[in-house]
């Protein structure tokens, strides 16, 4: 059985812990929002472009093997130039 004084101390401690927890959550949320508002830097754009190039690399290699439009026209004998 808790005395009235112990109960008040316990509730006070719970309120303090909850306040600290809320403050920490607010700090994390504010930091996340600040990170989202930061403009994208050139380095981030470069990294995104590198990832996209890695995804497209097999397709780009297959394009190199295909003849160009000019080569196709020369093969058919319809050279407009």
Domain ranges of the chain: 4-74
pLDDT at 2: 76
Q: How many CB atoms lie within 10 A of CB 56?
A: 11
Q: Looking at the predicted structure, is the pLDDT value of residue 61 above 80?
A: no
Mean pLDDT of the 36-57 span: 82
Identify the pLDDT of residue 60: 77
In this prediction, residues 7-30 reach a mean pLDDT of 94
Q: How far apart are CA 65 and CA 42, in angstroms?
A: 33
**pLDDT for residue 5 is more than 80:** yes
| 29 vs 27: CA distance, rounded Å | 5
**CA–CA gap between residue 22 and residue 15 (Å, rounded):** 10
């Amino acid at each position: 059985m808790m005395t009235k004084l112990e109960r008040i101390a316990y509730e006070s401690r719970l309120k303090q812990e909850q306040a600290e927890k809320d403050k920490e959550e607010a700090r994390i949320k504010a930091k996340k929002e600040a990170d989202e508002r930061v403009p994208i830097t050139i380095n981030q754009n470069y990294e995104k472009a590198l990832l996209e190039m890695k995804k497209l690399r097999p397709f780009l290699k297959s394009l190199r093997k295909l003849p160009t439009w000019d080569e196709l026209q020369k093969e058919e004998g319809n050279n407009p130039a």
